[in-house]
Structure 1
Amino acid sequence: MIRMDLDFARRFAALWQDDWNSHDLDRILAHYDEDVTFSSPMIARLTDDPAGTVHGKAALRAYWAAGLERIPDLEFEVMDVRAGVDALVIDYRNQIGGRVYEVLTFRDGLVVAGFGAYGGTPAV
């Protein structure tokens, strides 16, 4: 079991940023449980599914692969991080300057649930 504190959250966020900026799906997905659930307005937009949620690591891989194909210059810069009891929040800027918050819940050292929340700047 991980000890969720600000130090862990900062280390994870730095690794998360590096993994995303590598565009290597295996690196990115290494932090996620097989039964992960992830929600995002970008899922709704990319898949035309208003629920905006994917279930399972394979579905998350397919969604992120499509996203990386659609946004080949994707790049994230972590701006701030917050730690909760079993979750953390990553505040980051994307390649077009949009601010995004990603909330990730952990169990047994892996992300089991997450969601992205977008602000006023367009996401894509």
Structure 2
Amino acid sequence: MNQEQAYQFADEWISAFNAHDLTAILDHYADELKFYSPFIPQLKFNESGCITSKRDLERYFQLSLATYLNLHFTLHNVFVGIDTLAIYYTSVNDRLACEVFQLNEQGKAAIIYCHYAMTKSIPEKA
């Protein structure tokens, strides 16, 4: 993966969420996946914080879009690894977020780790 491919994935992913287009969102994900997010238990979808089927991921995103009607993401940066990318963005309620995507051979996200800042700004060092 190169920087251009990573930015294309990120731009399309952000645009799909901002359009609240569930079909376009799900197009970024593999059929077999592991999706980890602290929002999964917060939204009472399950206690484990992990989703392992695309069908459940669809139900989770439906719940998320219904819960956060004004959902809008702002892209800040994209980081490239080996078959991975990390998207740094502003998420729901102006919370900073970083999601790490491991892609399969078809360029679909197969393992996803979602991370969210606990506060809206970086705490100052003592």
Partner Cα separation in structure 1 for residue 40 and residue 59 of structure 2: 11
Give the letter for the 2:50 counterpart: T
1:36–1:56 contact (8 Å) kept in structure 2 = yes
2:68 matched to which residue of 1? 71
CA displacement, residues 17-75 of structure 1 (integer Å, 9 cap, x when unaligned): 11110101100001111111101000121126332001111010000100100111000
Moved over 4 A (4+): none
2:112 matched to which residue of 1? 114
**Residues 20-99 of structure 1 mapped to structure 2, 5 A cutoff:** 20-47=17-44, 49-99=46-96
In the superposition, the TM-score normalised over structure 1's length comes to 0.90
1:9–1:88 contact (8 Å) kept in structure 2 = yes
Partner Cα separation in structure 2 for residue 57 and residue 105 of structure 1: 15
Per mean C-alpha deviation after superposition, the further-off stretch among 74-83 and 45-54 is: 45-54
Instruction: Name structure 2 gaps, 5 residues minimum.
Output: 121-126
Instruction: Name structure 1 gaps, 5 residues minimum.
Output: none
Structure ID, larger Rg: 2
Give the letter for the 1:58 counterpart: R
Work out the number of aligned pairs and report it: 119
Q: CA RMSD in A?
A: 1.3
Q: Secondary structure of the equivalent of 1:90?
A: strand
In the superposition, the TM-score normalised over structure 2's length comes to 0.89
Partner Cα separation in structure 2 for residue 98 and residue 77 of structure 1: 10
Partner Cα separation in structure 1 for residue 6 and residue 17 of structure 2: 16
1:97–1:121 contact (8 Å) kept in structure 2 = no
